[in-house]
Amino acid sequence: MAAEMAMMVKPISKFAASPTPKFPTLARPPRLSAVKMSSTAATAPPSKKGPKGAIKETLLAPRFYTTDFDEMEMLFNTEINKNLNEAEFEALLQEFKTDYNQKHFVRNNEFKEAADKLQGPLRQIFVEFLERSCTAEFSGFLLYKELGRRLKKTNPVVAEIFSLMSRDEARHAGFLNKGLSDFNLALDLGFLTKARKYTFFKPKFIFYATYLSEKIGYWRYITIYRHLKNNPEYQCYPIFKYFENWCQDENRHGDFFSALMKAQPQFLNDWKAKLWSRFFCLSVYVTMYLNDTQRTAFYEGIGLDTKEFDMHVIIETNRTTARIFPAVLDVENPEFKRKLDRMADINQKLVAIGETQDMPLVKNLKRIPLVAALANELLAAYLMPPVESGSMDFAEFEPQVVY
């Protein structure tokens, strides 16, 4: 594995100094969707009327997930699965019980003052950022909470870790929702729980997708944090100051999924696992790239070049992922970025068609060649020679304390 990692080129210069996460990888969104927003003051009860300012339901919108909980119970039954290293999970549980960020998410007066200073288009962009992030965090909360509940009898240790991860995600979502209150808005999370469509993934796909979602989340948060620390003139809203400790939660969550996959070697050790690993890497990276290139004003607003930021996050996430997935994409091949850029251009054209006054039929006809071109680019990116990766000896995955 080390040799494969060494073959990879360095990340983009601006971010090259970023060290690897402090927390070792023990063994990813972007996820979610439509939120009902109340434009009343935050203290008012959430409105039950129309979804004013709601996230549009698109393929790229954050998703909620559900899975086959019976199969999950089988996978984590220690009587059936002898690969489950109970000592390792017990150690992880102690780590989560330590609750490093119990007192981290405390607000101060800076939030409201900063929000009041954000006006014009940047204000709207910030609201959308908070809304999407809150929905993504809340998605994790719902999934982990249900897994914690369903696995209680089969594997109480794994179940408790899921419950403690749902604690973290609830905290993250709540903190972002408080951020929305600075803008006199609030997400109705109860409504969201019932109104959102849930995407079903088989357990093994949940593992790939959530691992990537947590790790990409880690790299996004830590990259923004380090950038704003070095460029404080762009620090326009204090939530970013919390990202350093916050992202360690995401890193721990990713490491837990790494340990889970390690206990299910059938998801990592054959040709199908390689194909699925590459598929999920591509889905997660492309979704982020297309989402972010539609929102360059946000990243430019905090002094980042959107594409440079995204490529840094993709390269770092891919390097981390290569420690556990049996194959990853060759994202450091310049051709991969060229393909992403072509997809982003096509996506912009698709968005532009959606915004015209044309009849739905005309819009759909105009979309056909673009969707075909996008599918073509996706397939070509998927078929690029992959990087063989992963490690089934897992020697470096001993749990350690972060702080």
Q: Which residues bind Fe ion (CB under 5 A)?
A: 137, 140, 169, 172, 214, 250, 253
Which CB atom, from 167 or from 204, has the smaller least distance to Fe ion? 167
* Min dist. Cβ of residue 14 to Fe ion (A): 25
Q: What is the CA radius of gyration of the chain?
A: 21
Cβ 253 to Fe ion shortest distance, Å:
4
Please report how the helices 334-354 and 306-321 are oriented relative to each other, as an axis angle in degrees rounded to 10: 120
Of 221 and 289, the one with the shorter C-beta distance to Fe ion is 221
Between 137 and 188, CB nearer to Fe ion: 137
In contact, 175 and 242? CB cutoff 8 Å: yes
Question: Measured from the CB of residue 208, what is the shortest distance to Fe ion in angstroms?
Answer: 15
Contact criterion met (CB below 8 Å) for 315 and 12: yes
* Nearest distance in Å: CB 228, Fe ion: 19
Taking the least distance from each CB to Fe ion, the nearer of 253 and 339 is 253
Supply the minimum distance, in Å, between the C-beta of residue 147 and Fe ion: 13
Q: Give yes or no for a contact between 47 and 188, defined as CB atoms under 8 angstroms apart.
A: yes
The answer to whether residues 330 and 387 touch, using CB atoms and an 8 Å cutoff, is yes
Q: CA 161 to CA 163: how far, in whole Å? A: 5
Q: Choose between 155 and 248: whose C-beta lies nearer to Fe ion.
A: 248
| Smallest separation (angstroms) from Fe ion to the CB of 304 | 21
Torsion of CA 20, 268, 257, 64, to 10 degrees: 110
Which lies closer to Fe ion via its Cβ, residue 255 or residue 332? 255
Closest CA to 161 of 22, 26, 320, 326: 26
